[in-house]
Amino acid sequence: MSYSSLPEDVLEHVFSFVQSDKDRNVISLVCKSWYEIERWCRRRIFVGNCYAVSPRMAIRRFPEVRSVELKGKPHFADFNLVPEGWGGYVYPWIRAMAGGYPWLEELKLKRMVVTDESLELIAKSLKNFKVLVLSSCEGFSTHGLAAIAADCKNLKELDLWESDVEDPSGNWLSKFPDTCTSLVSLNIACLGSEVSFSALERLVVRCPNLRTLRLNRAVPLEKLAHLLRQAPQLVELGTGTYSADLRPDIFSNLAGAFSGCKELKSLSGFWDVVPAYLPAVYSVCSGLTTLNLSYATIQSPDLIKLVSQCPKLQCLWVLDYIEDSGLEALAATCKDLRELRVFPSEPFGDEPNVSLTEQGLVLVSEGCPKLESVLYFCRRMSNDALVTIAKNRPSMIRFRLCIIDPQTPDYLTLEPLDVGFGAIVQHCKDLRRLSLSGLLTDRVFEYIGTYAKKLEMLSVAFAGESDLGLHHVLSGCDSLRKLEIMDCPFGDKALLANAAKLETMRSLWMSSCSVSFEACKLLGQKMPRLNVEVIDESGPPDSRPELPVKKLYIYRTVTGRRIDMPGFVWNVGEDSALRLS
Amino acid sequence: MDFKETELCLGLPGGGNNKKDEAAALELTPTPKASNKRGFCETAVIDLKLNLQSKESSVDLNENFKNPPSNNKNHDKDPAKPSANKAQVVGWPPVRSYRKNAMAETAAFVKVCMDGAPYLRKVDLKTYKSYQELSDALAKMFSSFTMGNYGSQGMIDFMNESKLMDLLNSSDYVPTYEDKDGDWMLVGDVPWEMFVDSCKRMRIMKGSEAIGLAPRAMEKCKSRT
């Protein structure tokens, strides 16, 4: 019996074990019948750029999807580089899915503009809706959330990760009906004003499967103990404000409540921390795998005391208050550490305010054999340190280094940091994501193009000397999907010489570089399956053709130019002449 | 795909490390390094401190770019906060606005009650930038309440006794607050930032009831200047 004569339902059953999108895509290319069978049984789609495909096309090809994940704005939107109104609207998708995916269960959005209208449409049209994740989204208010709460009878997860939510006073949380007992995960940490505590408490009490609860800053510490006692089964907790008057009864109440939470693996929140209250969590430290202290303004000694009690820690997000000494303690205690993110407490200060240097990162790279993901803000670095880190941790997958002052050289030799980053890409053969900083010449890009064969995402700022740099990356990095560049002297030649490469990538962002409008037009005309978008808030870019374009966003798409571009975005395609006249 | 007009001739990387030769082959001259400090007008991430000496009580961001406040009388600059007029490069360092906002201030929650209303509200004063914004927000929360006109300077003019008396004799509601010293004051007597730092809680009462506060408030105000 050959594979092609296997009955459809057998094939479908086999395919159901294949979850990864990549593998599913490969399956669909085997033959026409496999394509057909596969598309009818695909249950989950991920669209990394919401403008790469139209909702209609997605629904037409995959009619039985239950879970959709979409991403909107380019990553640099996080740092205010994308003007308000650029796009990333989810409403057209929701309108299409209201009709096309009536049984949709999950919607995960990142960097998209979501309106109350969209949320209301979800609540009204999707009868089996269970999971809503809005990560770094904006454009909606608690009115929209009220609709979700009131009408999504089977809601399991509501996660507003770091979204910008308008918070007019209104008690949306109490719109969850008494019959709603299905919540498993609730993350409202980003909400600015207070929610009704009694509504929150009643919700927590009637949802026995609640595993994740991330509170917002407005929930006072005095009330946390009470909530914890109602939900001792929690696995992930985000505290509200972690400060209160120093009173022994509050402390003992809190410590007692925490000690009752035997399943707790993840802690976050800790806004406005009063260090005296930290020991209240000590009883759960031995089981913690994730600790997010990145908003906790506590100093190194307190951080050391805390971290030294968490031998099972796998993921730590912390401010640079931890200092080298804290990272040394981390390296000594947390042998299971996989991910470390150190954020700057004073990113805009001129002088270092903490004693955090390259040494801390070197120590962690030495002491933590499983370390694979790093985000590190610091003020000085050396090639030696980077080489050491690279040799210590060849299994590194994500390495994002931000030396706060642009173009800072090796502090020991005053050389560029080319050799250091070169060592990273040479030794870490599975590196998927890299962010560069410091003084860098074209040489670093030569190393990247030569060695970083698995690299998927590269972020570059204030680096390089000529188009050669960009050319190395575009011609050498075989797995490159996302490239984002700001303030680099890259111009037309490398871009045009590697035009075909751009179709193999999700997107390219270039701002404050040296790309001419003519080159953009040429690219747009030659590459019909790319959208070449020029962003310029001061006027039509062809009115000043001698100036380089300010911001350029190029992405592959099967649907042509988008129809929701604001006035400051120009798509320079084949009819660009018509568009601009 | 024919790219004759854009064809690059490149030497292999590593062979012949002479940058000049490579540059010549590319027919390029190295472009000057992109300036990493851009003009004041282009930066969008500036921590604006409201200067109540200026004419506007609400902030027009564009205006402030062109006419930065000249006497910045904002006191007690927290060294952790960025200085008001330092030009910052947009997009660098790569810190998310969410994080920047969260770190910039600690919250300042105060209880607000209104005479006659059966409920209390809590507001985070740090989410507002001016008395006008606070007023608008309170108006939404306590729908029968309007704070009246704060005038062009955003502050009650305490030096003008008759204006003050008019306000307090009207049947309008007037917001008052308890400051760090435990004194009850009329909202609007100090610059906004100072108010946020010293306000412990608020009570919105009828103007006629607040009259008793006015002389005390004026004394305190006079003793400050």
A573 band by pLDDT with thresholds 50, 70 and 90: confident
Mean pLDDT value across chain A: 94
Nearest CA among A465, A483, A487, A482 for reference residue A551: A487
Query: How many angstroms away from the CA of B15 is the closest CA of chain A?
Result: 12
pLDDT band at A559 (very low <50, low <70, confident <90, very high): very high
Chain-chain contact of B91 with A76 (C-beta, under 8 angstroms) = yes
Interface contact A402-B13, CB threshold 8 A = no
Note whether A346 contacts B80, CB cutoff 8 Å: yes
Spatial CA neighbour of A42 closest among B169, B46, A60: A60
Task: Specify the pLDDT at position B139.
Answer: 76
Alpha helix segments (H runs only) across chain B? 19-26, 61-66, 97-104, 131-141, 161-169, 192-198, 207-210, 213-224
Interface probe, candidates A75, A169, A195, chain B, greatest B C-beta count within 10 A: A169
> Quick count: other Cβ atoms within 10 Å of Cβ B30?
16
Please answer whether residues A535 and A508 qualify as being in contact, where contact means their C-beta atoms are separated by less than 8 angstroms.
no
Asked if B19 and A442 come within 8 Å (Cβ–Cβ), the reply is yes
Which residues from A are below 8 Å from B124, CB to CB?
A: 192-193, 217-218
Question: Is B141's CB within 8 Å of A169's CB?
Answer: yes
Whole-angstrom CA distances from B34 to A496, A537, B52 are 21, 20, 38
- Classify strands A138-141 and A164-166 as parallel, antiparallel or unpaired: parallel
Average pLDDT over residues A483-494: 97
Q: Is the dihedral angle over the CA atoms A203, A204, A208, A212 positive or is it negative?
A: positive
Q: State mean pLDDT over B17-21.
A: 43
User: pLDDT-based confidence at A316, cuts 50/70/90?
Assistant: very high
Q: Do B30 and A404 touch (CB under 8 A)?
A: no
Under DSSP, is residue A484 helix (H, G, I), strand (E, B) or coil? Answer: strand
Considering only CA atoms, which of A459, A522, A527 is closest in space to residue A493?
A522
**φ/ψ of residue A470, rounded to 5:** -65, -35
Mean per-residue pLDDT of chain B: 60
What is the average pLDDT across A316-331? 97
Beta bridge partners of B113: B120, B203
| Joined tokens for residue A52 | 């790469």
Cis upstream peptide for B82 (omega within 30°): no
| Percentage of residues in chain A having pLDDT higher than 70 | 97
Q: Mutation test of the interface with chain B: which of A163, A268, A468, A470, choosing the one with the most B Cβ atoms within 10 A? A: A468
User: Can you give the pLDDT at residue B5?
Assistant: 40
Mean pLDDT for the stretch of residues A289-312: 95
State which residue of chain B sits closest to A296, comparing Cα positions: B103
CA distance A33 to A35: 5
Structure tokens at A157: 């997860």
Of A84-98, B22-36, B154-168, which range is least confident?
B22-36
Could you tell me the end-to-end alpha-carbon distance of chain A, in angstroms, rounded to an integer?
64
**A500/B1 Cβ within 8 A:** yes
Of residues B7, B90, B102, nearest to A81 (C-beta) = B90
Q: Determine, for residues A465 and B33 on separate chains, whether the beta-carbon distance falls below 8 Å.
A: yes
Chain A, chain B: beta-carbon pairs less than 8 Å apart? 148
Those of residues 224-263 in A touching chain B at CB distance below 8 A are 241
Q: How far apart are CA A300 and CA A298, in angstroms?
A: 7
HEC string for B103-168: HHCCCCEEEEEECCCCCEEEEEHHHCCCHHHHHHHHHHHCCCCCCCCCCCCCCCCCCCHHHHHHHH
B140 CB neighbours in chain A (<8 A) are: 168-169
- Within 8 A of A499 by CB-CB distance, chain B residues are 1, 3
Length of chain B (residues): 225
Which amino acid type is present at position A363? L
A426 phi/psi in degrees, rounded to 5 = -75, -40
Find chain A residues with C-beta within 8 A of B86's C-beta. Answer: 348
Q: Out of B3, B33, B91, whose CB is closest to A79? A: B91
Q: How far is it, in rounded angstroms, from Cα A316 to Cα A240?
A: 19
CA angle A130, A136, A142 (to 5 degrees): 60
- B33 three-state secondary structure: coil
User: What length does chain A have?
Assistant: 581
Kind and range of the H or E run holding A437: none
pLDDT of B13 = 40
Q: What is the pLDDT of residues A120-172, one digit of tens each?
A: 999 999 999 999 999 999 999 999 999 999 999 999 999 999 999 988 666 89
Q: Which of A75, A76, A79, A460 best tests the B interface by mutation, with the highest count of B CBs <10 A?
A: A79
Q: Strand, coil or helix: what is A461?
A: strand
- Nearest CB among A169, A218, A491 relative to B31 is that of A491
A462 interfacial to chain B (CB closer than 8 Å): yes
Lowest mean pLDDT among A210-214, A383-387, B211-215: B211-215
Q: Which residues of B touch A294 (CB under 8 A)?
A: 99
pLDDT tens readout for residues A422-465: 999 999 999 999 999 999 999 999 999 999 999 999 999 999 99
Q: Which residue has the tokens 């188009």?
A: A467
Phi (first) and psi of residue A275, to 5 degrees: -55, -30
Whole-number Å distance between alpha carbons of A282 and A276? 12
In this prediction, residue B175 carries a pLDDT of: 86
pLDDT tens string B87-130: 468 899 999 988 988 887 666 778 888 887 777 777 878 778 78
Taking the C-alpha atoms of B12, B13, B18 and B22 in order, what is their torsion angle to the nearest 10 degrees? 60
Instruction: Report chain B's terminal Cα–Cα distance, integer Å.
Output: 75
Cβ distance of A162 and B96 shorter than 8 Å: yes
| For chain A, percent of residues with pLDDT exceeding 90 | 90
What single-letter amino acid sits at B143? S
Closest Cβ opposite residue A465 in set B8, B30, B99: B30
CB distance from A575 to chain B under 8 Å? Answer: no
Which pLDDT value is given to residue B102?
Answer: 83
H or E segment at A23? helix A21-28
Residue-wise pLDDT for A390-433, tens only, equals 999 999 999 999 999 999 999 999 999 999 999 999 999 999 99
Question: pLDDT-derived band of residue A200, with 50, 70 and 90 as boundaries?
Answer: very high
Rounded Cα distance between B114 and A536, Å, is 48
Q: Specify the range with the lowest mean pLDDT, choosing from A334-348, A464-478, A560-574, B192-206.
A: B192-206
φ and ψ of B140, to 5 deg: -70, -35
Q: Grade residue A516 by pLDDT with cuts at 50, 70 and 90.
A: very high
* Amino acid of residue B188: G
Does residue A133 sit in helix, strand or coil?
Answer: strand
Pairing state between β B184-186 and A236-238: unpaired
CB A386 within 8 A of CB A423: yes
Record: contact A272-B33, CB cut-off 8 A: no
- Cα separation, B69 vs B46, whole angstroms: 13
Q: Residue B145's pLDDT is what? A: 52
Using CA atoms, how far apart are residues A363 and A549, in angstroms rounded to an integer?
A: 43
What pLDDT score does A574 carry? 62
The residue type found at A172 is W
Neighbours of A545 (CB within 10 A): 13
Backbone angles phi, psi at B112, to 5 degrees: -125, 125
CB contact under 8 A, B13 and A446: yes
Mean pLDDT of A36-52: 95
> Residue B94's closest chain A neighbor by CA?
A79
Q: Is B1 in Cβ contact with A526 (below 8 Å)?
A: yes
Task: Give B43's contacts in chain A (Cβ within 8 Å).
Answer: none
- Distance from C-alpha of A84 to C-alpha of A171, rounded to nearest angstrom: 28
Instruction: Please determine, for residue A105, whether its predicted confidence score (pLDDT) is greater than 80.
Output: yes
CA gap A490, A508 in Å, rounded: 13
* A96 in reach of chain B (CB within 8 A): no
Structure tokens at B80: 């952790």
- What is the pLDDT at residue B168? 65
pTM summary value: 0.77
| Residue that the structure tokens 């031995």 belong to | A286
Q: Nearest by CB to B3, which of A81, A217, A496?
A: A496
Residues in B closer than 8 angstroms to A190, CB to CB, are: 98
Confidence at residue B222, expressed as pLDDT on a 0 to 100 scale: 59
Residues 6+ apart with CB under 8 A from A261: A228, A232, A233, A234, A237, A284
Q: pLDDT band at residue B185, thresholds of 50, 70 and 90? A: confident
